[in-house]
Homo-oligomer: A and B are copies of this chain.
Amino acid sequence: MNNFTFHNPTELLFGKGMIKQLGDRVKKFGNSVLLVTGGGSVKRIGLYDEVIGILNENGIDIHEVSGVKPNPRIDKVREGVKICRENNVDLVLGVGGGSTIDTAKSIAAGVKFDGDPWEMFTMDGEPDKAIPVGAVLTLAATGTEMNGNAVISNLETNEKLAIHTPAVNPRFSILDPVYTCTVPEEHTVYGIVDIAAHVYEQYFSHTPGTPVQDRWAESILITLREESKKVLDNPEDYEARANIMLCGTMALNGLIAMGKETDWASHAIEHELSAFYDIPHGGGLAIIFPNWMKYVMDEGLDKFVQYAVRVFGVSTDDKTDREVALEGIEKTRQWFNEMGAPSRLADYNIGEEKLEIMAESAVSNKELGGYKKLTKDDVYQILKMSL
């Protein structure tokens, strides 16, 4: 195990009706809020009105940024920063899925950043200050509700980049699984793939001596598999939604990465796809991950064997390690397919045209990969396998 520091002060308020505690939590930080929301779903499920009602009851001034889209854009961040500065906002409250909360976090950092907000994403180093952030989550997926990450896209430059700073860890996050019961099947599936992908990025690692972190990761994957079946059979299964939501939060809050090197190459590759083609993040990951696995597995078959055996119950009888590993990867692809996730770039009408430029962009100015360091050609091969 490597040395590590773990510090995650986000307060989780988890369960049915926990929104009732919103007023109390917001008031800890002041009485002026920037409410950040996405499209229509928070209004459709009545959450928007409920939040406005609670904030009004508590005498809190409300400013707003709405219309945040998937693969959220830097324009909304700029808009929010301006409003916060002009109105001396105390807390940025993201109500929605990962895109909304990432926008809220980026605004909170942008308020304290001297320069255009996009520079926070392109500069060396990370912003280290932000006004407080709160979150009300409506989609189990990114884990942003309990970490310091935010991913923002700039369509002018075809870039999708992240900040990672404890300054934007939500001070509190309200997670009511009921809000996720009405998420359409497609987005439910993308969320589940995203959660699994976060686990993979941290699970496949060469750091020795991390048995309990590995088992925690496997715990999340096994639970996701079991609960994904239930939730696709019955979208309103509260317990299944709750379990998936908890898995999403715990998959990317530092728990399973304790003392481990991590990978994140597949995410970087997918970010290129989303930046160039604006496809759903979870869809891109479902395509890329099995191909990444196949491409890198020979760097350390043991971990892929462990994955196949423990997560999918693959038998090792009369098989080589390579056969067991391949069976685990095939079962991964099958799981994603059975849920209805895409398996080829062709499913999004993506052809060979931009593979080269995406591969170039994925490796530009950064080291890529942990399980296997990836060159531009490696990325190109993985994209090609994904056609």
Contact = CB atoms under 8 A, between A and B. Distances in A.
Interface in A5-34: 5-18
Contacts of A116: none
Nearest to A208: B239
Size bin of chain A's contact surface: 35 or more
Nearest to A17: B3
Count identical subunits in the complex. 2
Given A212-B246, A223-B215, A227-B211, A15 B9 contact: no
Nearest to A220: B212
B239 A209 contact: yes
A295 B66 CA distance: 58
A256 to B, nearest CB: 10
Given A216-B216, A222-B215, A242 B209 contact: yes
A259 interface: yes
Contacts of A226: 211
A5 to B, nearest CB: 5
A172 to B, nearest CB: 8
A11 B254 CA distance: 12
A7 B222 CA distance: 25
Closest 10 A/B residue pairs (Cβ): A3-B15, A215-B219, A9-B9, A209-B239, A7-B11, A212-B223, A6-B12, A1-B242, A211-B223, A4-B14
